[in-house]
Structure 1
Amino acid sequence: MSSPGAVASTDVDSALGDLQAHLNLIFARTRSLWKESAARVHPELQVAGYKLLTFIDRAGTANAHELADRFEMDKSVISRQVRMLEELALLESRPDERDGRLRVLTVTAGAGAALAEVRREYGSRLQAVIDELTPEEIRAASKVFRLLAEV
Structure 2
Amino acid sequence: MVASEAAMSSDVDTALSDLQTHLNLIFARTRTLWKESAARIDPELQVGGYKLLTFIERAERANAHELADKFEMDKSVISRHVRMLEDLGLLESRPDERDGRQRVLTATPAACAALAELRRDHATRLRTVVAGLTQDEIAAASKVFRLLSEV
Structure 2 counterpart of 1:85, which letter? L
Structure 2 residue aligned with 1:68: 68
Paired residues, number: 150
How many angstroms does 1:128 deviate by?
2.0
Structure 2 unmatched ranges of 5 or more: none
> Which stretch of structure 1 is more off in the superposition, 51-60 or 94-103?
94-103
Structure 2 counterpart of 1:49, which letter? G
| TM-score, structure 1 as length reference | 0.93
Structure 2 residue aligned with 1:150: 150
In 1: Cα distance, 2:122 partner to 2:142 partner: 19
How many angstroms does 1:107 deviate by?
1.0
Give 1:1-151 correspondences, 5 Å limit.
3-151=3-151
In 1: Cα distance, 2:18 partner to 2:117 partner: 33
In 2: Cα distance, 1:83 partner to 1:140 partner: 41
How many angstroms does 1:10 deviate by?
1.7
Q: Specify the SS of the correspondent of 1:89.
A: coil
How many angstroms does 1:140 deviate by?
1.3
In 1: Cα distance, 2:147 partner to 2:60 partner: 29
Percent identity reads: 73
In 1: Cα distance, 2:147 partner to 2:101 partner: 39
How many angstroms does 1:150 deviate by?
2.4
Q: Specify the SS of the correspondent of 2:115.
A: helix
In 2: Cα distance, 1:9 partner to 1:141 partner: 22
| TM-score, structure 2 as length reference | 0.93
Structure 1 unmatched ranges of 5 or more: none
In 2: Cα distance, 1:27 partner to 1:15 partner: 18
Q: Specify the SS of the correspondent of 1:10.
A: helix
Q: Specify the SS of the correspondent of 1:105.
A: strand
- Measured against aligned partners, the alpha-carbon deviations of 1:38-81 in whole angstroms (never above 9, x if no partner) come to 00000000000000000111111111111111111111111111
Structure 1 counterpart of 2:129, which letter? V
